[in-house]
Amino acid sequence: MISDMSDETEHHPDPYSRASASAARLKEVAGMSFDAAVVLGSGWLAAADAIGQADGEIPLAGLGGFPAPTTAGHGGAVRYLNADGKRVLLFLGRVHLYEGHEPSTVVHGVRTAIAAGCRTIILTNAAGGIRADYAVGQPVLVSDHLNLTGRSPLGGPQPPAGYPGRFADLTAVYSPRLRDLARSLDPALAEGVYAALPGPHYETPAEIRMLRGLGADLVGMSTALEAIAARHLGVEVLGISLVTNAAAGLSNEVLDHADVLATARSSAEQVGSLLAQLLPRI
């Protein structure tokens, strides 16, 4: 058992110090540092089970800085396991801007993982498919993103001494090396550009037409801010979207979060098996 340390964040004046404090508690409880972290999107719990047997699971509330998720399909815990020599964190969900959080809170898990030693971050999500040739239930590698949330985790005061400056280079935010590695395991994997919107409402058909014109292939409400925070700190990022529905106006189906979760649950195990093969090779 670990105590609730939610008040501990008040003693750390900047988000980087808060992440370091959470990482220190995480390493203390787990008894180790880590190599990689996977952040699981809506309905992705089956992927966590497929990745491997956990050595332990820690409530995020006990690490400080992690509010309880309010969105169905997102848990409030982190698992840790050994994947053939790679020490891996599995965040069983995330929080979002639309839940009323600041960007620094949205990316707290990623910054904590990096402070705990992770040099690879794998971000997963459930996404609407914009490209006509994407099938529901299909995993797609994220090649780039459009951050249309209007927010950045690098906004606000300068990062403290010892951290990179706020003007991060995002030229290759999603690692070409990791995408090539994933395709070596599954040559059928498609890739595409992910558009991140603030939500929580789904997009209108007009907005989807706009996004298509901007070059987006996928649309969702997460991932981009976490990717920015990770690249700012110099780690490699792999993004994987699971197409859970056709985007608004592209089918006659009514968009419903329950259907998104059902599709993710039925397909996530397949992607978890891919990650189980990939993680030891990162």
What pLDDT does residue 237 have?
98
pLDDT category of residue 6 using cuts at 50, 70 and 90 = very low
In tens, the pLDDT along 50-62 reads 999 999 999 999 9
Mean pLDDT, rounded, for 220-233: 98
CA dihedral 147, 23, 200, 275 (to 10 degrees): 80
Q: Is 257 a catalytic residue?
A: yes
Domain count within the chain = 1
106 alpha carbon, distance to own chain's centre: 10
Task: Reply yes or no on whether the pLDDT at 7 is more than 50.
Answer: no
- Determine which one of 257, 266, 269, 273 is catalytic: 257
Contact assessment for residue 158 and residue 75, using Cβ atoms and an 8 Å cutoff: no
**Token pair listed for 206:** 């007009």
Residue 275 in any domain: the answer is: yes
Residue 179 belongs to domain spanning: 6-281
What pLDDT does residue 260 have?
76
Which residues contact residue 85 at a Cβ distance below 8 angstroms, ignoring those fewer than 6 apart? Answer: 280
Residue 269 to residue 273: CA distance in whole angstroms:
6
Residue 124 in any domain: the answer is: yes
109-134 burial, b for 16+ CB within 10 Å, e for fewer? bbbbbbbbbbbbbbbbbbbbbbbeeb
Residue 94 in any domain: the answer is: yes
264 closest CA partner among 64, 99, 42, 3:
42
Domain CATH number, residue 179: 3.40.50.1580
Q: Is 126 a catalytic residue?
A: yes
The amino acid at residue 69 is P
Q: Is 232 a catalytic residue?
A: no
- Determine which one of 5, 98, 102, 190 is catalytic: 98
Q: Is 80 a catalytic residue?
A: no
Mean pLDDT, rounded, for 154-161: 95
pTM of the model: 0.93
Q: Is 241 a catalytic residue?
A: no
Residue 96 in any domain: the answer is: yes
Mean pLDDT, rounded, for 37-47: 86
Residue 170 in any domain: the answer is: yes
Residue 1 in any domain: the answer is: no
